[in-house]
Structure 1
């Protein structure tokens, strides 16, 4: 096929976008890996250096622990398959205890991230179980 003016222009625009997004992607990678940026990276530097340095997660974690040995990671929630209750820090600094089976907290409320359809489905299934149990008791 012939190379039309429109396709050339689109290709040029995509190349500009790639350059712009390369800077953002590199900064996201560095942030995700825990690398602090001392100086801003320009677009030309990103295009010149074609390599990204990946660090071992264990090395980054050890470096953070050496810097702050007395601070614990509050963001990580320890979960085990045996536990039915999970403690999570709330927005106000209050701890909320969620049940892994029902997904409700100690006040009987569902978490914010749980979709309404999922909540309705769970309540329907629990209501069916309750009806079955009550019918068995009658007979």
Structure 2
């Protein structure tokens, strides 16, 4: 079978009447809500009184910081990095080759299969000369 044929099979999945109807209705909903979303976006971006009211609502939920303050903080942070070493000190006690920390733990992002593979490599090196020969056991 050609790869184009297999790709065609993948594309034909989820084409039941129910899924077609759901896709159609989601598209209709997007069309219906588009003008409202556009107005809300314009309000958030504009500087008229309505937008200020929206910003006060947002300030109750989250901390609002102006763009000038962010730029100043970024420029100060860039200056500190240039002056400092620029090295992160988070995993300084982790072995770069085995990825183990001082407690013998692998990093949180590593899955069990990867950890098992690295453990096999690490333990396999210590017992390389002790492998049994394959053959008939009489």
TM-score, normalised relative to structure 1 = 0.38
Quick one: higher RCO (CA 8 Å, sep 6+), 1 or 2?
1
Higher CA-based Rg: 2
User: By percentage of residues, which structure has more helix?
Assistant: 2
